[in-house]
Structure 1
């Protein structure tokens, strides 16, 4: 699992205080990678974290620091793949092997399964940002661009699918994942400024929801 995906999964299960600590660890590891450092040891990350008011090395090594260790291990794995010139492949089982506590391992396994399901929903949402969208109404809409969005009568959206669309652009989803809509081009970006969804993602979903509920 990539560091960003693991961070989102872990932080969604934590309290506000520990979320902030985990976010600091995540940021420090990202900075290590940006400066081309290969040192993702708990000792180094703990030292950098403590200097910025975050968890110390000992706090990370403690039983309550499992989330920190998992995230650091994910960054280390990503770094090792980059050194070998390969793109890291998400392997949920690799993450589970890093967890010694059976109860924690089982809980993380459930979260990974849920995350896999959410990825499928995200792929569906991304597909909406195309020239043609099909839902259960006959309407032709024109945006600011020359592209035409055609809504044709076909398969109606279920209540679960509508809920998934609403949830995807809800303030809670954006806050939990550290996303925000760029005021300049209306794309969706994460806390590091990386583009998560293209321009028109939020407006496309709102358009579908508005015309589906009529």
Structure 2
């Protein structure tokens, strides 16, 4: 993973071929983004940045989103990466609380201690990988070397699971369990609750089914 690009360098590059009006807009936006990089929320979403920019005489949210606003979007991406995040709007405190409550609700609703332990482990792994993915999205500069064979450090398959673990996974994605929780499984493997909130990401159920050989 390479070091993030200095936003000041990118700003000067963008200004080189820009009109005077666009240069001014870029510099206002640059100032707003610098302020955001020092804030606690690190909110680099176009909606938020555009609102702050417009208040200071810079490009508005719609201007940034337009096809002609690619240079503005690029500058936002650079600043977001420099701050270690992305353009995606961060979760609010309330949203984080809901997610945590949903996770705890899932665990509290499982009576079998073995299944509860397995599901708890899956939730912890999901959270860890989600955090790692967000960091990678913010700073990724990946080069795939096709000259060398790929060696898998491990292969996860059903043969490595005990019968008890297999039963736990089967129960975790069973129709009976989803009916009891009032959850809906989407064709993509995504799981949503009765209010439409995402419980598991797309591919979750499909991946578990492949793992246990269903």
State the TM bucket, normalised to the shorter chain: 0.3 to 0.5
Higher strand proportion: 1
Structure 1 or 2, whichever has the larger Rg, is 2
TM-score by length of 1: 0.38
